[in-house]
Amino acid sequence: MQTFPCPFCGPRDETEFHFAVEADHPRPENTPSDVEWAAYLYTVDAPQGPAREIWLHIPCGEYFVMSRNTRTRDVTGSEALR
């Protein structure tokens, strides 16, 4: 079981977190084409190695950006959305 750092609550068990979405994929707006919209909904990079992801810490309800290495499972950073 991994330990993730919530920027508000500190290190907590993996079971307290939900993966939300990959970071840096802005929502297309103002009537995007079907292709753009489908890419937003369904395409993920799923990188092996360094990744920037948005996670949710369920007990405090805060979404935050976590940088981690999906191969080694090292967590390299964690920051609030703003």
Measure Cα distances from 18 to 9, 25, 28, 43, 69 in Å. Answer: 15, 18, 23, 19, 17
User: Does 51 interact with other proteins (rule: CB under 8 A)?
Assistant: no
Q: Is 56 in the site for other proteins (CB under 8 A)?
A: yes
- Work out whether 23 is an interface residue with other proteins (CB under 8 A): no
Number of residues that bind other proteins (CB under 8 A): 24
Rounded to whole angstroms, how far apart are CA atoms 37 and 56? 23
Using CB under 8 A as the binding rule, whether residue 73 contacts other proteins is answered as yes
Q: Which residues here bind other proteins, judged by CB under 8 A?
A: 1-3, 14, 18, 20, 27-29, 31-32, 34, 37, 40-41, 54, 56, 58, 61-63, 73, 81-82
